[in-house]
Structure 1
C-alpha cells in the first residue's frame, strides 16, 4: 500500500508578545515616542480610578510614562514596569518610578496594588500569564484595566503607507492594510486580553469600554509619530525615509494636514475578594 508523505510542519502563529525584538525596540528614540504618542482620554483615567480600591497603581509596560503621568495627575501613586531600560530611564526622568523587567518575570516582592493598568502594551505580554500575575498583585476589589488606541487614517494616507511598507519590508508580519478595518477589529486586541482574564483565578468577568475622539495632524506631526510604530521601529534609515516620503506626499495631496479618528478601547476586570 502506498504511503503519503508526511505533512510539512505548519509555522507557529505569530504572537506579538513573543517578538521581543520589536517589543523592546521602541526605546530607540524615547524622546520622540514621548513627544508624539497621544495621551489617553481623561474619562478613561477617571473611570479606572473610580473603580479601583485606592490610589496605588502598577503600570505594566509603562514606556516613557505617558499613562503613568496621567494617573499621577489624577492623584495616584504609580510604579511602572518596563522591559526596555531606555524607556524606563526616560520615565524616571519624567517623575515616574520604574523597574526594568518583563511583567511575566517581574518580582513584586509582596507588593500589592489597587489597580494594574497597561496602555498600548498588553499585546507584548502573554495574556494568560499576565492576567494571572495581575490577579496576584491586586488587592481584593482592585481593577485590572488594559487599553489601546485604535485609529483610522484617511484612505489616501493609508494606501501610501501600505504600498511603501510592502515594498521595503515584504516579509514583515506587520500588515499596514489591516488598519483599514481598525474600527471593526477591536477583537484582535481585546479578544486575547479578555480570554486571559477569563482563565485567571480571582478575576471577575471582563468588561469593555470605548472612548471616541479626534486629533488633527500636520504633515510634520504625523511623520514625526510614524517611526514610533511597531512596523517601522527597526527599519533601516534609507527604507524608513522612503516610507515617510511616500506618506508625506499623500498628506501633501490632502493639503498638508488631516484629522484622525481615534477610539481608545479597554478591557477591564475586578479582583474578586478571596473566599
Structure 2
C-alpha cells in the first residue's frame, strides 16, 4: 500500500502548535510497557524527533535517560521545555546535530511528517553502532455501534475527515526506508482498554491535523454532535487504545 506523502504538506505538518496546551492536555502519554521496552535498550543519549509537547521525552527523562528533543514548532517546544526537557527548534531534515551521536532515536506519531528517505539516512548517521531507531503510532478503536453513529455524524459535518477509529496505515506498512545501515525491523503492539469521556474525545479529535484543517464552524458543529452522541450513551464510551511500534537497530 502506498502511503500519502504527508511530509510534503508543510502547513498541515506545522499546524499543531496553534493550540499546544490542548495537544498536551488530550494526547496520551506512551504506555508503561513501551517505556519499559525503550529503557531496556540501555540507551544513555536519546533524541526524540518531532517531540511535540514532550509526551515521550518526559517519560524517558523520568527514567534516567539524557533526552534531547527536536521539534519544528517553537510553541510545542516551549511546552516540552516547561516539562524540563531541552528542545532545539528545527525540522529534523535540516537540524544540525553539531557532531552529537545518540544511542536511541524515538519518534511518536510524527515520522510521516518527515521525508522518509532523508529521515532514515539521517537517523542512521546520528545513531551510534548498535543504537536503535524506534518509531510508533497511536490508534483508537471504537465499538462498532458507536463507530456507525460517528460515521453518520462525519458524513454530515466533515466528510473529508476520519473518525480516527482505525489501525494506522504506518503500522501495517514498512515504516523505514530499506537502507543497509539498519538490521531487520521488529514490530510490537501495545494495547489497552479504557473509558473516554465526551470532553476527552472531542478534545483529542481537535488535535488531529485533518480536524484542524476543517473550517472552525465545521469543527465546532462536528464536536458538538459527537459530544451529544456520547452524552446520549451515558457521557463516556469504551475505547481500545493501541501503540504500534517498529524498532530497527543500527548495524
Query: TM-score scaled by structure 2?
Result: 0.92
1-structure distance, mates of 2:150, 2:208:
12
**SS of 1:118 mapped into structure 2:** strand
**Alpha-carbon distance, 1:128 to partner:** 2.2
Tell me the matched-pair count: 250
RMSD: 2.0
Which residue number corresponds to residue 110 of structure 2?
121
Q: Does the alignment pair 1:29 with 2:19?
A: yes
CA distance in 2, matches of 1:109, 1:121: 23
CA distance in 2, matches of 1:94, 1:228: 19
Deviations 1:78-110 (A, max 9, x none): 111111111112111221111111111111111
Question: Is 1:64 paired with 2:53?
Answer: yes
Aligned partner of residue 57 in structure 1, secondary structure: strand
What SS does the aligned partner of 1:250 have? helix
Tell me the SS of whatever aligns to 2:51: coil
Gaps of 5+ in 2: none
> TM (normalized to structure 1)?
0.84
Match of 2:192 in 1: 213
Distance 2:73 2:146 in 1: 31
Alpha-carbon distance in 2 for matches of 1:235, 1:160:
20
1:82-161 to structure 2, matched below 5 A, reads 82-161=71-150
The answer as to whether partners of 1:49 and 1:55 remain within 8 angstroms in 2 is no
Gaps of 5+ in 1: 1-11
* Higher mean displacement: 119-128 or 263-272: 119-128
Residues 183-262 of structure 1 correspond to what in structure 2 (within 5 A)? 183=167, 186-194=168-176, 196=177, 199-262=178-241
- Which secondary structure does the structure 2 equivalent of 1:63 belong to? coil
User: What is the DSSP-based 3-state SS (H/G/I as helix, E as strand, rest coil) of the residue aligned with 1:201?
Assistant: coil
Cα distance, 1:215 vs structure 2 = 2.1
CA distance in 2, matches of 1:149, 1:210: 10
